Amino acid sequence: MFVCPGERMRNEVRSMPGVFNLSVDEAVKEARETYSLGVPAVILFGLPEKKDELATGAWADGGIVQQTARAIKREIPDLILIGDVCLCEYMSHGHCGIVRSTPQSLGAAVAAPPAATTEYEIVNDASLELLARTSVSLARAGIDIIAPSDMMDGRVAAIRKGLDEVGFINTPILSYAAKFASGFYGPFREAADSAPQFGDRRSYQMDPANIREAMREIELDLEEGADIIMVKPALPYLDVIAAARERFDAPLAAYQVSGEYAMIEAAARNNWIDRDRVMMESLFSIRRAGANVILTYFAKDAAKLLA
């Protein structure tokens, strides 16, 4: 669910028919309907009023996701709320961590795109503090599961430490452990207004050709304290899901991402495929590969068919 400021806002995402940017009041209605269908959990992504170079909207107590979490918990307390922890939606430059142009001091985060000839890098360790702060803020607002998707090194350990220090010792972490630098994220970046303003995310997301790196990343996240691991995207990486299921004993999730959803919707609207049949076939394949949990934009429709 993509949540945004305002009231009575329900704006359909152009590239994702049936998916909306929702104001808090509409998000509560959507959550109520979703829970009534038997879907046990939703994940929240935020579109802040303002962006800056420190992702203030991600960790502010009055942030849009924090507001939505409190409102949903008041109305549907048994619905499990997952909070996506990333900074890209809240950063002025659209990257998942603090950015500096080089050579500069660590404190020189840049808000504006550097010149075409400027080199830049993600400041990994300084970004961990913001990720941990965001996680604590979300937990205080009622988020049940913290889901870091940023792919900074060491972020699971930093988040676990941050949560434990303020008493959230039982708040689980669902780590986007194997998140690939994929071309399937395009519609999401429209929905969340999170496209990077310069460069790309290949330096901190994973090489689609390298399954060994994925296994190392999963192992590291589990060692740092992840409770659930996730592979993203799902359908192009069924082999990674299967390999992770065979190698690791932890609960395993898979994210059927926006591009996967959009392709099925587009083909169905052109009458090239049977939408419901292909939707369910895609979900069965993810489950068959070994995922215990599926994060999908088809959740409501699949729940109706399964019922």
The CA-based angle 62-196-136, given to 5 degrees, is 30
Phi, psi dihedral angles at 134 (to 5 degrees): -65, -45
- Residue from 176, 159, 177 nearest 168 by CA: 159
Cβ of 30: how many Cβ atoms within 10 Å?
18
Q: Is 161 an active-site residue?
A: no
Q: Is 179 an active-site residue?
A: yes
Q: Give dist(CA 277, CA 25) in Å, integer.
A: 33
| Identified catalytic residue from 29, 73, 232, 300 | 232
| Identified catalytic residue from 50, 73, 179, 300 | 179
Which of the residues are catalytic? 179, 232
